[in-house]
Every structure is written in structure tokens, then in C-alpha cells.
Chain A
């Protein structure tokens, strides 16, 4: 950081022409690493490696990804058995076909059934299929979720309102390496006649992480 970090509001009228990070939420207390990140970005902009607009545009692009992407993939897998096979055998290819390329990580889709319920976590950090679901929810990154879902998954699922019979195997995927996971939830009974678009509207973020099931009425 080229100058001491101000802890007061200022209007950039302090006589030097270097880049500043965009405004941050007012309530936020910056940790050491957040400040380090801001400082790194400022230096990259100052040295002309990236422009502030490029950083902003990258954040904007990422923020525009919503779980609706993943929901389209799931709905297609419900109505098209061949697509489902493709999704289960080569998920990167299958999601790229719907316009959601995942180029930096390998995607694996896992299907829920009457026998197995899948749920995803990253105990080391916050690995998540961001290209399909957007940014992970705060609870996904919390220490409580990360520690407890691998050791008492049924209790955690119960807290999310998902109570599974004892004969259903709970399978937790701890995605700490190069693979990202998408859960294909069970299509709710009674929705067989719905269109692909109507089905996609039922598929929630939490059902694709695996902490919830899809309900017939959203």
C-alpha cells in the first residue's frame, strides 16, 4: 500500500493520483487478508497490469452468475435421459452444451436417488461450482458447516429441514482438490407433465448443493 490506510471517509482530494479500490460496504471490518487483497489490486492497477475497469467487469460478470444456470442443467437432465447420461459421464461437456463452460476445473454431477443422498462441502475453503451456482452462500463457507457436515451430516441436514430415512445413504463430497460437484436432485413426484422451463424454476441452489430436496411447488 503506497500510503497508510485511511480509516475515515475521504473524497480523493488528497493530492495524489493513484488507484483506489472501489467503495466497500460500510459495515465491513477489513481483515489482514482483505486489506492485502485490496493493496495487491491497487498495485496491479497502478503498474498497469490490469485496469480498474477490467477488475470491475470481472466481478460484475461473476456476480451475474446465478443458480438459474445450474437449474437449467438439472431440468434438462430430468426431461432428457440421454442428456442425463452425458451429464453423469462428462459433465463439463454437458454444461458447456447449455452455454455454461467450465474451463478451469473438472465438474462431476452426482445424482440423488431413493438409495443415496449427496451433499457437497469443501472443508478446506469454499470450492464450489461457481460457473453454475454463482457465489457460494455465507453458510457454505462457515466453519460450522464445513466441520459438521462431514461428521454429523444428518443433524446438519435436519437443521436445513431435510430429514432422510435411515436406509438412505448420506454421501458427503468433500471437494478439496480439482473436482467440483453438482448434485442432481430427485425430480419431485407429480411434476412429470411440466415443461423444462417450469421444472427449472423449481430447482433451488440448496438442492444442487444437497442440503435440500426439490419441492413440487417451489
Chain B
């Protein structure tokens, strides 16, 4: 895979997110080393904290340099992930997602 093919997956500018923001995970299925689990793609969650900037694993996996990505903890309600979820109404899954996978709702 070429560096340009990987680089084009990143939007050029991302505004920072804040705890409380509602975000939708990109419903996208690019090839390569992707850390965003498929089960949350296209799903809406709420940012619960910011961890600061980290190297983008999608580039690091190919020894490519690129801009760091802000990493956020995003909380998804179980009932938003699985329509037949039968546990508690506030049961949740927290995922750590990089900024370029998140779109503010």
C-alpha cells in the first residue's frame, strides 16, 4: 500500500472535540491496519474524555510519518450498538478512537 493511499484517508482539518460532544464513527471500511472496531462504525456515542495526541497507528503500521491524532474515549450505550440488548439501560462500551474516525453530530 502506498503512503498516498493511506494519507488520503485523513481529512485535512479536525476541530477538537470536548467531553459531552455527540459523535458518529465513520461508516468506512478502508484496507490496512485499522484500530476502530467494525461494531462501532456508523454508531453514535458521546465523548467522555480526551487523552491527547498519539501517533496514528494506521500510518505507523507501515512505518509512515504523518500528523498525530487526538485520541478520545467515546461512550456508546449497549442498546445503541445491539438492538436486542437486554441488560441495564445505562450499560455501555467505552472505546478509544482517533479523531479522524469521529464526526461531530
Interface residues of A (CB under 8 A from B): 106, 123-124, 150-154, 166-179
Tally of contacts, chain A with chain B, CB under 8 A: 70
Contact flag A150-B35 (CB < 8 Å), given A169-B91, A173-B94, A176-B95: no
Chain B contact residue count (CB 8 A cutoff) = 25
Shortest CB distance A102–B (Å): 14
B 7-61 contacts with A by CB, 8 A: 35-37, 39, 51, 54, 57
Closest CB of chain B to A20's CB: distance in Å?
A: 29
Q: Is the CB of B92 within 8 A of A177?
A: no
B85 within 8 A of A: yes
The SS class assigned to the A binding surface is loop
Interface residue B90 (Cβ < 8 Å from any Cβ of A): yes
Name the B residues within 8 Å of A172 (CB-CB).
Answer: 92-94
Our pick among A150, A154, A170, A178 for the contact of B96 (Cβ within 8 Å) is: A178
Kindly list chain B residues whose C-beta atoms are within 8 Å of the C-beta of A178: 51, 54, 71, 96
Smallest Cβ distance from A35 to chain B, in angstroms? 22
Establish whether residues A177 and B71, one from each chain, have CB atoms under 8 Å apart when the complex forms.
yes
Asked whether B97 is an interface residue with its Cβ less than 8 Å from the other chain, the reply is yes
Interface mask (B61-75 → A, CB under 8 Å = 1, otherwise 0): 000000000010101
A-B contact pairs, 28 of them (CB 8 A): A106-B51, A123-B37, A124-B35, A151-B81, A152-B87, A153-B87, A154-B91, A166-B87, A166-B88, A169-B91, A170-B87, A171-B91, A171-B93, A172-B93, A172-B94, A173-B93, A174-B37, A174-B93, A174-B94, A174-B95, A174-B96, A176-B37, A176-B95, A176-B96, A177-B71, A178-B51, A179-B71, A179-B73
Is B35 a contact of A179 with CB atoms below 8 Å? Answer: no
List, in ascending order, chain B residues with CB within 8 A of A175's CB: 96
